[in-house]
Structure 1
Amino acid sequence: QTSFDMSTVPAPEDLPSVWEKYGSLADDRASWLLNRPFDLRYVGGDITVDVTNQSSTMQVWIRSRDTFDASHAVQCAALAFASDYLLVEPIMQKHGIPWATPGFRAASLDHAMWFHRPFRVDEWLLYELDTPTSQSARGLTHGRFYNQHGDLVASVAQESMIRTPRA
């Protein structure tokens, strides 16, 4: 899909940031979440504390927290860095696993990214993610980044491993 109808999702300004939702938490997970250089705004809810929707898809608005005036190559590097934040989350969401699960572990096994047109990471990008398959502690996620005009600017694929403690 090379274009996206932005009228189908709320504007990022209409959604709470992770800072607004979790800024008062005082533990290691909150620090990890809140000290990222990117602002994240989940369209359908996040999986930080609990999972209310076991869908295999999610949408998140993302942009750098600070102005990022850099070359296209550096913009691409920054987006590649940020793309890895969320790629495991559709797999976790599908299986009802929040980040707050004690002993939960995840790792990227393979990660590929393609850049289709220029963009800026300090402007809102809609990150649409889905997992077509997940089983045996592994899952595949596809992601697409759209600018606010609905143009596809980058896409990504990753295989991840997830582990939860046995009961």
Structure 2
Amino acid sequence: MTNPAESLVALLDLEQIEVDIFRGRSPQESLQRVFGGQVAGQALVAAGRTTEGDRPVHSLHAYFLRPGRPGVPIVYQVERVRDGRSFTTRRVTAVQQGRTIFNLTASFHKPEQGSFEHQLPPAREVPDPESLPTVADEMREHLGALPEQLERMARRQPFDIRYVDRLRWKPDEVEGAEPRSAVWMRAVGPLGDDPLVHTCALTYASDMTLLDAVRIPVEPLWGPRGFDMASLDHAMWFHRPFRADEWFLYDQESPIATGGRGLARGRIYDREGRMLVSVVQEGLFRAL
């Protein structure tokens, strides 16, 4: 069986079909829509393929416009907006079956030495990831055994995810819960040494758990879902180099949910407590 990390690297390896036009695979899954992190990661690969290799990504801003269909290829069209002395800007449009489903603007920055530094530390002390159970282990403990479909999904999961707080399974367990969540994550296998692959893999992962912070005060994360959820937009700022196949802490919070939309913010740290990435996303929440 192919290692899920290898499958993720293959998923991010786009086919170039014309100048500044790329095609990405979309695996046939049982999901209603293509996972947003996949589209964001592939779009960022397309942008990166048209830039000089000495300028890493420093930010991206994206909108999810329509749900993508699993199993149908996605074409990424890149516009070369600007090539400056220090910054490079690219705009990417994702098209599936003739319809725009996603767009992204990414900025690349030639590394330079800053005159000062500061950062906020993680919001709290957390246990080491090795001391925490995987999501699959928590589900097996609660359910006794995973249903076959969930077992297959767990085996295909490209990231090891470990929640700092035990998962809530019952409605009475969410009462009084703050809209905060924290997880340790890393790819389940090596991702190679291309920095762009690690950046795009982490972009993929950043969409996996961020909206949990919105749901935590309302419903159990792993109980029956009462809401249809969809990512509306996504923004990221990359502060320091990192590897997505090494443990990183994703500290998440939701400052507000109103009008059918919930806002979530995330800060990503390495094991030494250095902030690597900042993330902001808004999601749509409609009662089922």
Whether the TM-score (by the shorter chain) exceeds 0.5 is yes
Residue aligning to 2:185: 62
Give the match for residue 260 of structure 2. 137
Q: 2:278 aligns with which of 132, 149, 155?
A: 155
Alpha carbons 1:104, 1:162 under 8 Å: kept: yes
Aligned to 2:269: 146
How far apart, in 1, do the equivalents of 2:211 and 2:123 lie? 24
Distance 2:209 2:197 in 1: 20
Amino acid at match of 1:21: E
The worse-fitting range, judged by mean Cα deviation, of 116-125 and 17-26 is 17-26
Q: Which one of the candidate residues 111, 126, 132 is aligned to 1:15? A: 132
Decide whether aligned partners of structure 1 residues 29 and 160 sit closer, same or farther in structure 2, where only a CA change above 3 A counts.
farther
**Alpha-carbon distance between aligned partners in 1 of 2:224 and 2:213, rounded to the nearest angstrom:** 15
Q: Distance in 1 between matches of 2:256 and 2:122?
A: 26
CA RMSD of aligned residues (A): 2.3
Contact 1:131 1:141 in 2 (8 A): yes
Offset, 1:99? 4.1
Q: Which residue of 2 aligns with 1:2?
A: 119
Taking the aligned partners of 2:253 and 2:220, their CA distance within structure 1 comes to 16
Structure 2: distance between partners of 1:157 and 1:34: 29
**1:89-146: CA deviations, max 9, x gaps?**
0111022243432564210001011110011111110000000000222100000110
TM-score by length of 1: 0.86
Contact kept in structure 2, 1:3 and 1:150, CA below 8 Å: no
- Code of the residue aligned with 2:156 in structure 1: it is N
Instruction: Give 1:134's aligned amino acid.
Output: A
Match status 1:91 vs 2:198: no
The residue matched to 2:204 in structure 1 has which SS? helix
Matches within 5 A, 1:17-36: 17-23=134-140, 24-26=145-147, 28=149, 31-32=152-153, 35-36=156-157
CA-to-partner distance for each residue in 1:14-47, whole Å, 9 max, x for gaps?
A: 1001132225310645654553200001001235
Mind listing any 5+ residue stretches in structure 1 that lack a counterpart? Answer: none
Counterpart contact for 2:122–2:269, Cα < 8 Å: no
Aligned pair 1:44/2:162, yes or no? no
Matched, 1:121 2:244: yes
Identity of aligned residues (%): 36
- The one-letter code of the counterpart of 1:25 is L
**Higher RCO (C-alpha 8 Å, min separation 6):** 1
- Secondary structure class of the residue paired with 2:233: strand
Which has more radius of gyration?
2
Most deviating of 123-132 and 64-73: 64-73
* Worse overlay, 104-113 or 49-58: 49-58
Distance in 2, matches of 1:6 and 1:57, equals: 10
1:43 alignment partner AA: V
* Counterparts of 2:260 and 2:153, CA distance in 1: 23
Matches of 2:146 and 2:232, distance apart in 1: 30
Is the contact made by 1:6 and 1:148 (CA closer than 8 Å) also made in structure 2? no
* Number of residues of Structure 1 aligned to a counterpart in Structure 2: 164
Equivalents in 2 of 1:16, 1:91: separation in Å?
23
Secondary structure, counterpart of 2:243 in structure 1: coil
Distance 1:161 1:6, change over 3 A: closer
Relative to structure 1, the CA distance from residue 92 to residue 84 in structure 2 (aligned partners, 3 Å threshold; closer, same or farther) is: same
Moved over 4 A (4+): 27-34
